[in-house]
Structure 1
Amino acid sequence: MTTRTTPDPAPAFPASGTTRPTVADRVEQGRSWRRTAPLDTLGDWSPAPDRLDPVSVLGAQDASRVPELVPIRYGRMSASPFAFYRGSAAVMAADLATLPRTAGVTQLCGDAHVANFGVYAAADRSLVFDINDFDETLPGPFEWDVLRLAASLVLAARDRGFERSVARDAARAAARAYRLATVDLARQRNLDVWYARVDEDRIMRAVDAAKAGKRAHRTAASTFDKARGRTSLRAAEKLTELVDGRLRFREAPPLISREPLSALDREQADTLFESYRSTLDDPLRRLLDRFEPVDAARKVVGVGSVGTRAYVLLLAGRDDDDPLILQLKQAQASVLEKHLGASEYGHSGQRVVNGQRYAQAASDILLGWVTGPGGFDFYVRQLHDMKGSIDLARVRRRGLVTLASLCGSTLARAHARSGDAVAVAAYLGHDTDDDAFDKAVGRFARRYADQAESDAARLDDAIRSGDVEAVTGV
């Protein structure tokens, strides 16, 4: 096992104007990666002798977070090993850095666990399935995302009490789908790869073809139906109230509170809003000109994100039936930067937005970034834009394996937009029966899920001893 003690220089995509390599050159490059990062080594991970205490790694992130919200983060992470895993991307990044790695550069999600895949509305209002969280996005070796996805599937299977064989099959299915999709994408024209996306019809066909059963079909259909109902209007009905003839956010501290922004005067708010607008294209700036900011509040979100600063901004359109709610979410340095080098972007919000645009087949039209209250970096998006997630509590055995395949092929499509699918396909092997990659990823997923369970128990011990404060049920 190779251990890296210092981060490599920040990876960079090929500069424009450089000589374009031939397909044969790219195939040879991918094959050469097997010499420095053999497929089998992907499954050979074991914790390094000098591995840092996971609770210490998490604690190092607390310094930049809102102190009174940190206990909520730990409370949510302590719910299960899978919940712990969702919030411990920094821990896994350090572990992945000890593995030999491929030399290619792909725009990574950075936190590609199964719960970070879902549906949302494209600009044409059709629903698509894609990765939906890019807080940790950074260019790096493609396999890091695949390994994080696979381990999350094992933990999700264990969380449901499924047999070991289901966990194994799900992890391998994700790897196999990634491999086969990459081989297919490597043969496609560049624009075809860029335009490719997974829409509602394709998902329903995949569910039916997998013969996952009527329950799986209903679960998938329900996910889309719920997503269609998650609009700004519905969010406004749930989160706001009418006071003195004006809409404002309904407080529910500590999850929703207007107090942290009460000192932000209108001039400051207008300056921040204008700064955000400047990151959008002109037509979208004109669209936002038709809305007026009327209120703002702090809103706690996520699991691992809890404690970072996140706000919601209420805008009024033509009347009270035309609200728009934007979310401002704090962006910090990616947890991958310590191991892969600093981002090329000086603003972490810009890093998140551009990484998302690289990877997603269709992105929120109002994605932007801003330096917000306190001088912190933020990215901005719509709070609800027909977003929906898979309810893992309802997914059955065969359905989880089907979902794993869908996530694997979706991740391959996301990577092919920025990475070199030809080289990656050559590394993985063009023979569809060559399952060395699938088996190696499966071995890693099982081993790392064991480690995540041990790490989660370590957090539980720290909470019981009083070394870590946790608030549950919030």
Structure 2
Amino acid sequence: MAQVQTIAERQEAGKLARMRSPRSQNAAIGNVNRDPVQLLRENSTGRVEALVPLRYGRMAVSPFTFYRGSAILQAHDLAGTNNSGITFPVCGDAHLMNFGGFATPERQLVFDLNDFDEVAVGPWEWDVKRLAASFAIAGESMGIERGSIKDIVATAMQEYSDRMHKYAGCSALELWHEIVTFERMLETAATSEGRQLINRAMEKAAGRTHESMLGKIASEQDGRWTIHDAPPALFHPAGPNSLLGANKKWADTAEWKSKLAAAFDSYLLTLAPERRQLIAQFDLQDTAFKVVGVGSVGTFCLVMLFIDSHGKPLFLQVKEARQSVIARFFEGDNATHDGERVVCGQRLLQAASDSFLGWTTGPQGRTFYFRQLRDMKISAEVERMSSTILQGYARLCGWALARAHAKAGGKAIEIAAYLGNGGRFADALTQYALDYAVQNSKDYDTFIRACRSGQLEARSDEDMAADFRV
């Protein structure tokens, strides 16, 4: 076993990292000499062809939705910046909409990172910069004035720094057990309005269960449950509303069912024995294709509906795992299986993870990971927030990201020493966020021109849904 360094040695390593990457240099936005349209096209390769226009249509709604779907651009740009040399598995897509509430296996409601498609070994600063820029871009999209946007970004960055200094004083086990519960959020809320929103979120989460979803998206006939088609967002792979191509072999063929069964059996082997025993108490009723969030549109994603002997449901989501944009632009530990990469990264970064997390390899060699589709999961309704509430939300995101980094990297002491006690890092990141918002706006304009000229095809959910109306 490697010898554990002393606190003094680790603090010195963090201070020496400033030599490699001075804190003021974190304001640099990096290498933006690239064609955003070409990079987006490359990122769409291998996705469901008929769904790529929907991906672009969702991105076209605003500069913020464009930012959410274009993680590849920022990863490219950040590869042209200095970093501290402190690396570990990072989220890779830590924008403000990839935080939210969900239930732990012990049924405790927590706030944490909740999207790990891009997780990979990389510089911790890249996560922080993605978060900072997301607040600047969202603030501009919401019409918040520049001075308030600066305060919001600075709040997130200062909270990250303050929490990291606190975590630097925690033992390894204390960090591993640290969790941001909604009860703790209530205790730290700065305003009564903030406390009211947290309470409402807790009430909403309590109603977002497998049972509450069953009657909304499925129906029972002759003792079997069937998921309703709702194209383009939800459809059966082999059904009349499928967008996967008429000449593909899908669920109505014995060959496809055999491959799906083999992939599911492989997934079960990645679970702990007691979880396998739990799933064995459910019977698979139906499988459908589900289109997911902005950045993942067009990737292969299935929903599996299971029912136990009491008629109670379990929904599992089977989501394709593609190469991380972080791994593409930063040379870290290369994953041998992208589904395993996502699962291991999620388990490492989250305080408590889904009981059903696992991975498999599907037909055509695609890699997938499993998780519950809904288990008291909620996301912030950012567009309805005032600048004051958005600032409070920024504080929560800064806290949650610091906790995730402290646990995943075991480098809280080094990062805290790098950050120092002043506001130099927060100032640099605030400037970075404002400047990157300008760059994002330029990229968005280029993207919109490509859509209008026919270089890219962009269609809204409403446009595509109309194709299926009689």
**TM-score, scaled relative to structure 1:** 0.92
The answer to whether residue 65 in structure 2 is matched with residue 83 in structure 1 is yes
Q: 1:99 aligns with which of 81, 106, 109?
A: 81
State the secondary structure of the residue aligned to 2:368: strand
- Confirm or deny: 8 A CA contact 1:229 1:386 kept in the other structure: yes
Shift of residue 47 of structure 1?
Answer: 4.5
1:251 maps to: 229
CA-to-partner distance for each residue in 1:232-273, whole Å, 9 max, x for gaps? 111211111123331011011221111344235344333222
The answer to whether residue 112 in structure 2 is matched with residue 123 in structure 1 is no
Distance in structure 2 (CA, Å) of the matches to 1:354 and 1:259? 29
The answer to whether residue 196 in structure 2 is matched with residue 218 in structure 1 is yes
- Confirm or deny: 8 A CA contact 1:187 1:422 kept in the other structure: yes
The answer to whether residue 9 in structure 2 is matched with residue 35 in structure 1 is no
Alignment of 1:150-229 (within 5 A): 150-207=132-189, 210-211=190-191, 213-214=192-193, 216-229=194-207
Alignment of 1:255-404 (within 5 A): 255-260=233-238, 261-265=250-254, 266-320=257-311, 322-341=312-331, 343-404=333-394
The answer to whether residue 460 in structure 2 is matched with residue 472 in structure 1 is yes
Distance in structure 1 (CA, Å) of the matches to 2:188 and 2:379? 17
2:209 maps to: 231
Distance in structure 1 (CA, Å) of the matches to 2:262 and 2:29? 49
- Confirm or deny: 8 A CA contact 2:30 2:78 kept in the other structure: no
1:444 maps to: 432
- Confirm or deny: 8 A CA contact 1:66 1:308 kept in the other structure: yes
Letter in 1 for 2:280: D
The answer to whether residue 10 in structure 2 is matched with residue 18 in structure 1 is no
The answer to whether residue 124 in structure 2 is matched with residue 142 in structure 1 is yes
Distance in structure 2 (CA, Å) of the matches to 1:46 and 1:368? 36
State the secondary structure of the residue aligned to 2:16: helix
Distance in structure 1 (CA, Å) of the matches to 2:52 and 2:417? 44
CA-to-partner distance for each residue in 1:146-189, whole Å, 9 max, x for gaps? 01000000111111111111211111111101111001000111
Shift of residue 46 of structure 1?
Answer: 5.2
Shift of residue 222 of structure 1?
Answer: 1.9
Distance in structure 1 (CA, Å) of the matches to 2:221 and 2:323? 39
Distance in structure 1 (CA, Å) of the matches to 2:278 and 2:167? 36
2:247 maps to: none
Shift of residue 343 of structure 1?
Answer: 4.1
1:114 maps to: 96
Distance in structure 2 (CA, Å) of the matches to 1:259 and 1:379? 19
CA-to-partner distance for each residue in 1:70-107, whole Å, 9 max, x for gaps? 00000000000000000000000000111111111222
Letter in 1 for 2:65: A
The answer to whether residue 38 in structure 2 is matched with residue 60 in structure 1 is no
Structure 2, unaligned runs of 5 or more: 239-249, 463-470
- Confirm or deny: 8 A CA contact 2:157 2:426 kept in the other structure: yes
Letter in 2 for 1:32: L
Structure 1, unaligned runs of 5 or more: 1-16
State the secondary structure of the residue aligned to 2:302: strand
Letter in 2 for 1:262: A
State the secondary structure of the residue aligned to 2:106: coil
Shift of residue 300 of structure 1?
Answer: 0.3
Letter in 2 for 1:130: D
- Confirm or deny: 8 A CA contact 1:96 1:144 kept in the other structure: yes
CA-to-partner distance for each residue in 1:213-243, whole Å, 9 max, x for gaps? 43x3332222222122111111211111123
2:465 maps to: none
- Confirm or deny: 8 A CA contact 1:331 1:378 kept in the other structure: yes
Shift of residue 339 of structure 1?
Answer: 1.8
CA-to-partner distance for each residue in 1:316-341, whole Å, 9 max, x for gaps? 11232x11110000001100112222
State the secondary structure of the residue aligned to 1:304: helix
- Confirm or deny: 8 A CA contact 1:219 1:394 kept in the other structure: no
2:398 maps to: 408
Letter in 1 for 2:7: V
Matched residues, number: 448
- Confirm or deny: 8 A CA contact 1:368 1:381 kept in the other structure: yes
State the secondary structure of the residue aligned to 1:119: strand
